[in-house]
């Protein structure tokens, strides 16, 4: 029974421009490291081939160094690799695939599926039917030719494509490069290996998205896996998810209304690990002591994890009466503090009173520090 590894959406060369340079470089490096882990996984799982369902590269113009590093990473598995162009690295007349070929860096055991024609893998007993993209978007189902293409008797037919199976992905997802949901059945495929959706997803027993092996976005869509697939002519394939990803991406949104809400956020931050990438969004209100605790926790977490971005625009400062008294703001300044606090907490919320309140309290706290405004250790 042939066995292969199904993976996709490596997007080597991705720049991660939304992050600070030190984080962006490490996240880009993690994608190459994931390929090295895939090669080791293919060797350890004793697969007959590795099928990559598109978007090997993130762009059509990459440095020679990046291309060479990618093909060097494939050396960890000596069996056949089949690399399919996707929408990010379509098989253009002049593009990243032609650059790799011109450099002469594509190893002999790596098959570039640049044309819609069968690729025979005798050592694996497989015939791969690829549907390479030759432009970023198409309105036609490029897998249609699978249905009428004969293959030698006794060989297992496997499809390889990159696109969108309509009706199975979230409605908000754009749907270029359509793929028929029943293509595996219509084309008599033992398995259809798909790429483009970055999460691991089963369409039907013979059709799967593997997802990207290294998570690269905050959407919780089951990224970070490769699929080990055992296929035969008649029985359904046996599909096993194997962990590959290094980083975990968290998007955490919380509204703070009571002190226990802040305690829960601080405990959550305390549990994050070095390889975590975090998008934290907070709304609600905090008193001065709570804000000091939060700022301390954010600083400590940012130093510990791979990346932390926090959005606090929806968080209003709501000093208690005792905290306002401790600022020793008498007369007009005291009245202004109270007015700003009330305005910041009165719907509809406006950022201006909240910002003014924060600036004024910070100035007063520098002149009149008090125990209530001192940072408190996080859990």
| Per-residue confidence (pLDDT) for residue 365, from 0 to 100 | 58
| Per-residue confidence (pLDDT) for residue 331, from 0 to 100 | 59
Token duo for residue 373 = 């405004």
| Per-residue confidence (pLDDT) for residue 192, from 0 to 100 | 98
Bridge partners (DSSP) listed for residue 278 = 250, 308
| Per-residue confidence (pLDDT) for residue 348, from 0 to 100 | 64
- 157 vs 151: CA distance, rounded Å: 7
| Dihedral of the alpha carbons of 355, 361, 363, 366, in degrees to the nearest 10 | -140
Reported residue count of the chain is 379
Token duo for residue 276 = 């975590």
Backbone angles phi, psi at 268, to 5 degrees: -65, -45
| Per-residue confidence (pLDDT) for residue 286, from 0 to 100 | 87
DSSP H or E segment with residue 340:
helix 331-345
Q: What is the pLDDT along the chain (379 residues), one digit of tens a residue?
A: 899 999 999 999 999 998 989 999 999 999 999 999 999 999 999 999 999 999 999 999 999 999 999 999 999 999 999 999 999 999 998 999 999 999 999 999 999 999 999 999 999 999 999 999 999 999 999 999 999 999 998 899 999 999 999 777 765 455 689 999 999 999 999 999 999 999 999 999 999 999 999 999 988 789 999 999 999 878 899 999 999 999 999 999 999 999 999 999 999 999 999 999 999 999 988 888 898 899 999 999 999 999 999 998 888 777 776 766 666 556 556 666 666 666 666 666 666 566 666 666 666 655 655 544 444 333 3
Q: Where are the domains of the chain?
A: 3-243, 248-373
DSSP for residue 12 = B
| Per-residue confidence (pLDDT) for residue 354, from 0 to 100 | 63
CATH 3.60.21.10, applies to 3-243: yes
Measuring CA to CA, which residue among 230, 246, 225, 296 is closest to residue 266?
296
| Per-residue confidence (pLDDT) for residue 236, from 0 to 100 | 94
């Amino acid at each position: 029974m042939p066995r292969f590894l199904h993976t996709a959406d490596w997007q080597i060369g991705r720049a991660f421009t939304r992050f600070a340079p030190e984080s962006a470089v490490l996240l880009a490096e993690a994608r190459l490291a994931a390929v090295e882990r895939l090669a080791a996984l293919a060797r350890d799982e004793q697969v007959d081939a590795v099928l990559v369902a598109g978007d090997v590269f993130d762009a059509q113009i990459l440095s020679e160094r990046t291309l060479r590093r990618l093909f060097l990473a494939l050396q960890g598995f000596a069996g056949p690799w089949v690399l399919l162009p996707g929408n990010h690295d379509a098989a253009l007349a002049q593009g990243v695939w032609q650059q790799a070929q011109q450099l002469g860096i594509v190893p002999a055991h790596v098959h570039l599926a640049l044309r819609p024609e069968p690729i025979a893998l005798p050592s694996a007993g497989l015939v791969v039917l690829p549907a390479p993209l030759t432009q970023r978007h198409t309105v036609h189902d490029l897998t249609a030719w699978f249905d009428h293409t004969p293959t030698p008797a006794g060989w297992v037919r496997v499809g390889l494509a990159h696109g969108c199976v309509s009706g199975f992905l979230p409605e908000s997802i754009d749907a270029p490069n359509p793929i028929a949901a029943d293509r595996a059945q219509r084309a008599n495929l033992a398995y259809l290996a798909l790429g483009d959706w970055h999460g691991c997803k089963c369409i039907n027993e013979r059709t799967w998205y593997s997802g990207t092996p290294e998570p690269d976005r905050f959407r919780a869509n089951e990224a970070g896996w490769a699929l080990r697939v055992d296929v035969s002519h008649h029985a359904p394939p046996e599909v096993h998810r194997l962990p590959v990803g290094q980083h975990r991406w968290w998007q955490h949104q919380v509204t703070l209304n009571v002190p226990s809400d802040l305690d829960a956020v601080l405990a959550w931050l305390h549990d994050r690990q070095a390889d975590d990438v975090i998008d934290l969004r907070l709304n609600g209100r905090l008193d001065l002591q709570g804000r000091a605790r939060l700022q301390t926790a954010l600083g400590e977490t940012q130093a510990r994890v791979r990346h932390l971005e926090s959005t606090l625009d929806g968080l209003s400062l709501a000093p208690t009466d005792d905290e306002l008294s401790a600022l020793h703001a008498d007369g007009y300044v005291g009245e202004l503090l109270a007015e700003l606090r009330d305005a910041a907490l009165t719907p509809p919320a406006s950022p201006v009173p909240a910002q003014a309140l924060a600036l004024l309290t910070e100035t007063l706290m520098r002149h009149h520090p008090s125990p209530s405004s001192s940072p408190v250790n996080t859990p």
